[in-house]
């Protein structure tokens, strides 16, 4: 069984609680379109300890009432009925987090593919809604077997099931700085939201990434309405081939 994960990144020295309110409402709407009911909620920040509690109960109600003031991480999780281990058996999750030291704002959404189809109509509508939340710097989405925990990949966590090569790539990303992330690519994905610095990078000795993405078979590049980003889409069977093309260029952080 497969699941997909989406990561959207922004590097900023300022966030507002209103963004967390809007993300919360968007996440619930996305879950609702897939027939998913959140089961657990967690928040971390001033007055919150990050522990998962039942959705709709006291901690969640307080956060809503206070407009998520002081919150720096917010997570919604959906689990099978009767579950008491939200971190281990979730089939959907949506989180937004801000790390003040690095200035990284990250949205991560993970949903099992049989519940909301990757690249389906609802998925594409979801992308548009989340892109409108913030002036993002870049992002990506991909599908993988559930046991690979694709959401852990976005969150730069080791779920314990990575190969040696996957762990090497994960560590390379974890160690990378914001400047590199804003001008290079983490890896190659079937869906990538790219900024102008990334598109201007050299994919080959004589081709920018923009020109490469526009001309490579099975690839398309589309400017996004209302955003400074462009959407680079690859057919799934082209991802590894494109990665091999880009490896010599140094454009990939996880090369």
The last residue of a domain, from among 161, 186, 216: 161
Q: What is the pLDDT of residues 184-238, one digit of tens each?
A: 999 999 999 999 999 999 999 899 999 999 999 999 999 999 899 999 999 999 9
Q: How many whole angstroms separate alpha carbon 241 and alpha carbon 196?
A: 23
Report the candidate in 178, 185, 182 with the shortest Cα–Cα distance to residue 212.
Answer: 185
The last residue of a domain, from among 161, 194, 229: 161
The total number of structural domains that make up the chain = 2
The last residue of a domain, from among 161, 178, 198: 161
Beta pairing partners, 53: 41
Q: Which domain holds residue 134?
A: 1-161
Triad 173, 174, 177: Cα angle to 5°: 80
- pTM, full prediction: 0.96
Same domain, yes or no: 34 and 86: yes
Same domain, yes or no: 176 and 106: no
Same domain, yes or no: 140 and 177: no
Residue 159: pLDDT band with limits 50, 70, 90:
confident
Q: How many whole angstroms separate alpha carbon 58 and alpha carbon 60?
A: 6
The per-residue pLDDT for 193 is 98
Q: What is the pLDDT of residues 69-124, one digit of tens each?
A: 999 999 999 999 888 777 788 999 999 999 999 999 999 999 999 999 999 999 99
pLDDT at 143 over 90: yes
Q: What is the pLDDT of residues 37-75, one digit of tens each?
A: 999 999 999 999 999 999 999 999 999 999 999 999 999
Same domain, yes or no: 2 and 118: yes
The per-residue pLDDT for 218 is 92
Same domain, yes or no: 171 and 144: no
């Amino acid at each position: 069984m497969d699941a997909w994960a989406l990561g959207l990144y922004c590097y900023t020295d300022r966030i507002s609680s209103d963004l967390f309110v809007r993300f919360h409402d968007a996440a619930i709407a996305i879950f609702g379109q897939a027939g998913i009911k959140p089961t657990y909620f967690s928040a971390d920040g001033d007055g919150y300890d990050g522990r998962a509690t039942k959705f709709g109960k006291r901690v969640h109600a307080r956060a809503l009432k206070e407009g998520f003031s002081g919150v720096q991480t917010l997570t919604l999780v959906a689990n099978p009925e009767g579950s008491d281990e939200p971190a281990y058996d979730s089939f959907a999750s949506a989180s937004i987090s801000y790390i003040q030291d690095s200035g990284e704002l990250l949205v991560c959404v993970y949903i099992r593919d049989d519940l909301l189809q990757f690249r389906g109509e609802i998925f594409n509508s979801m992308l548009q809604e989340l892109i409108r939340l913030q002036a993002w710097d870049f992002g990506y989405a991909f599908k993988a077997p559930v046991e690979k925990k694709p959401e852990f990949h976005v969150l730069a966590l080791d779920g314990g099931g990575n190969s040696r090569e996957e762990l090497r790539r994960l560590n390379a990303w974890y160690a990378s700085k914001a400047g590199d992330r804003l001008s290079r690519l983490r890896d190659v994905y079937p869906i990538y939201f790219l900024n102008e610095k990334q598109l201007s990078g050299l994919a080959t000795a004589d081709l920018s990434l923009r020109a490469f993405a526009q001309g490579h078979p099975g690839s398309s590049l589309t400017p996004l309405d209302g955003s400074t980003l462009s959407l680079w889409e690859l057919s799934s069977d082209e991802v590894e081939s494109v990665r091999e093309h880009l490896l010599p260029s140094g454009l990939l952080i996880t090369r």
